[in-house]
Amino acid sequence: MVNNFDRIFVERLGKIERTNAAFADNAHLLRIIDKIVSTVGRRVDESSPMVDARLPDGSRVNAIIPPLSLKGPTLTIRKFSRDPYTMNDLISFGTITPKAGQFLAACVKGKLNILISGGTGTGKTTTLNAMSAFVPGDERIVTIEDAAELQLQQEHVITLESRPPNIEGQGEIRIRELVRNALRMRPDRIIVGEVRGPETLDMLQAMNTGHEGSLTTIHANSPRDALSRLETLVMTAGVELPHRAIREQIASAFDLLVQISRLVDGTRRITHITEVLRMESDVITLQDIFVAKPPDEETSSLSRSSRLLAPLACTGLKPHFLEKMSANGVALPPAFFEQDEGGLRPAFAAASYGGFK
């Protein structure tokens, strides 16, 4: 985070700290910003003083310059690791338990439509990347993003990126048009980096017209908030739809919600894995499959990361989408969803997880 040419901060282990590094002056910082954004066909000047771009490794870059930024050019880079994090990495960080990781991997293989929700900087894109590794290699995937940052390892991937308007205000291509275009490209799965506007409606339509196994992320603080935010975003499309019709579309489009939170000590944790059920009267029913609860006295002594939140535990409820998964060739044993006793079972140690692939 470059607040000014001589004030640079970095985030280490979830905490922000100042560094000794500095640019020569504001003109030097501006040249660096210009160099970064020009390589991806974007520009930053007085007529468009805000810009979103990316580095070659997929890291996100945001820059804002005077007159909008009063003290001088401001640069924020959200760095990605050189090797994308895998599900095993998330397990070793304590973000997810091995059993829940195994469940999510099976859900991706079983072609469920999954919505990942969380606040800013909680690791939604990282989780999306880790989950996308379980998409079979013979499926055609189309990814659509504002700034292309997903690093999919499959060979049959088409990456699309939206485009801002040019200096005359012409030529803007929004995510909405790209989603619509992707439907004509015969995709098996559509992965939208994040829904934050009218493209939500097109994404719902895609999921309801046979593009099973699609993944996307949304900003929200709880699974219930994610659904109400989806509803609000669909309304921004300018289509006069009754609330019930929108909710029915959402309930039939998504099968699973994955909620991520960032705790006060800087750790990122998956707190809910929730099934989206049918409509009951005017409300979408949700059912928690895995949930991380605040710890009681007994479990709080287990580990440092469980002081704020106990590990993800199975609620003992069986999801209704098991038939859909088995129709796609993925079967989970009936005993898989038995309620966890006292946190993790030793049978699901992180070491044994690696063989799941």
Question: 186-226: per-residue pLDDT in tens?
Answer: 999 999 988 888 889 888 888 888 888 899 999 999 999 99
CA dist 205 and 124 (Å) reads 23
CA dist 286 and 274 (Å) reads 7
The continuous run of DSSP H or E covering 305 comes out as none
pLDDT at site 298: 53
What mean pLDDT value characterizes the chain? Answer: 85
Confidence label for 341 from pLDDT (cuts 50, 70 and 90): low
User: Which tokens sit at 55?
Assistant: 């580095």
CA dist 210 and 188 (Å) reads 9
Q: Where are the alpha helices (DSSP H) in the chain?
A: 26-38, 87-93, 98-109, 124-132, 175-182, 199-208, 223-235, 243-253, 322-327, 350-353
Over the stretch 124-171, which tens digit does the pLDDT of each residue have?
888 998 999 999 989 999 999 887 778 888 889 999 988 888 777 788
Nearest to residue 117, comparing CAs of 224, 252, 251?
224
Over the stretch 256-273, which tens digit does the pLDDT of each residue have?
999 999 988 888 899 999
How many CA atoms lie within 13 Å of 207's alpha carbon, on the beta-carbon side? 26
- Interval 330-345 mean pLDDT: 71
Check if the beta carbon of residue 47 is closer than 8 Å to that of residue 12: no
Check if the beta carbon of residue 101 is closer than 8 Å to that of residue 241: no
Over the stretch 91-113, which tens digit does the pLDDT of each residue have?
998 899 999 999 999 999 999 99
pLDDT at site 63: 93
Over the stretch 226-240, which tens digit does the pLDDT of each residue have?
999 999 999 988 888
Q: Is the pLDDT of residue 345 over 60?
A: no
pLDDT at site 351: 38
148: number of Cβ within 10 Å: 16
Confidence label for 303 from pLDDT (cuts 50, 70 and 90): low
Confidence label for 346 from pLDDT (cuts 50, 70 and 90): very low
